[in-house]
Amino acid sequence: MSHIDEFISLVHTQSKRDYLKRVNEFPKPEAAKIAKQFDFDYWDGDRKFGYGGHHYDGRWRIVAERMVSYYGLKSGDKILDIGCGKGFLLYEFTQVVPGINVVGIDISTYALANAKEEIKQSLKKGNAKKLDFMDKEFDLVMAINSLHNLYCYDLEIALQEIERVGKKYKFICMDSYRNEVEKTNLLYWQLTCECFFTPTEWEWWFKKTGYSGDYGFIYFE
C-alpha cells in the first residue's frame, strides 16, 4: 500500500476555486439537493451545481500516462473505474495503451448517456457498494473522487468490494483535510459528499476493511 498524490493533483490544481462565492451565491442546501441528482445540472449546468460543464479537453491524458508507467499496464490488461462519469480517463487509457480493456460504472444515467462516444459501450450503470464482477477480475481498480459520496456503512462495503475484484493493483482518491482551513474549504466547496475524514482516519478505514491498494488525497488549500 502506497500513498500517491501525484496522479490526481495534476488535474485538481488546474481548477481555480472561489470557496466563499460558492457558499454565498446560492443557498448551499438547495445546490446540494440539485447536485445529488447527478443529472444535467451537476455535470453541464451552472458551476454552483457541480462541474459547470464537464467536457473532454485532454487533461486526463497525463494521469493515464503516469498510472500506466507506475503500474506497468500493458495490452490485454483490464481496468475498472468506479464512478467513471463520462469516461474521459478510461478513454485516455485506451489511447496510451492500445488493446487495454476498460470497464466503467457510474450511478449517473446522464453521465453515461453523454459519455465519450469511443468507449460508451464499455460503461454501465452501477454502484460501488455492489460490484457485479468476479473475484480478482481486474488488473487495476480505480475509484477517483467517488467514495466520499457514500455513507460510512456503504463505504465499508465498497472498500471490501474493491479489494475483492482487484487482482493486482488498486488506486482510490478521496477528499481529505489536514487542518481547519482545509476542512472549512472542503465543506464550502463540496456538494455531494457524505463522509469527511483526515488522512489518519482514511488509513483507519483501510485497515478495518482490509483494503491493500494505493491511495491519494485531494486537499482544498
Given a cut of 70, whether residue 13 has pLDDT beyond it is no
Q: What confidence tier does 195 reach under pLDDT thresholds 50, 70, 90?
A: very high
Given a cut of 80, whether residue 12 has pLDDT beyond it is no
Sequence ranges of the domains in the chain: 9-212
64-105, pLDDT tens digit by residue? 999 999 999 999 999 999 999 999 999 999 999 999 999 999
Q: How far from 180 is each of 50, 77, 177, 191, 219, CA to CA, in Å? A: 23, 42, 8, 19, 12
pLDDT at 10: 67
The CATH classification number of 9-212 equals 3.40.50.150
How would you class 221 by CB atoms within 10 Å of its CB: exposed for 0-12, middle for 13-18, buried for 19 or more? exposed
Given a cut of 80, whether residue 168 has pLDDT beyond it is yes
DSSP 64-94: HHHHHHHHT--TT-EEEEET-TT-HHHHHHH
Section 209-219 average pLDDT = 95
Amino acid letter for position 111:
A
Section 126-135 average pLDDT = 96
Cα angle vertex 58, ends 99, 73, to 5°?
30
Q: Name which of 103, 104, 17, 14 is nearest 60 in CA terms.
A: 14
Section 189-214 average pLDDT = 96
170 Rama sector, left if φ>0, alpha if ψ -120 to 50, beta otherwise: beta
Q: What confidence tier does 4 reach under pLDDT thresholds 50, 70, 90?
A: confident
Given a cut of 70, whether residue 14 has pLDDT beyond it is no
18-43, pLDDT tens digit by residue? 888 888 889 999 999 999 999 999 99
Share of the chain above pLDDT 70, in %: 98
- Helix, strand, coil percent content, the chain, rounded in steps of 5: 45, 20, 40
Q: SS3 letters for 134-203?
A: CCCCEEEEEEECCHHHCCHHHHHHHHHHHHHHEEEEEEEEEEECCCHHHHHHHHHHCCCCCCCECHHHHH
- Our measurement of the distance from residue 182's CA atom to the centroid of its chain's CA atoms, rounded to an integer in Å, reads 19
Average pLDDT, the chain: 95
Q: Grid coordinates representing 204?
A: 483507519
Pairing label, strands 78-82, 101-106? parallel
What is d(CA 189, CA 175) in angstroms, rounded to the nearest whole number?
11
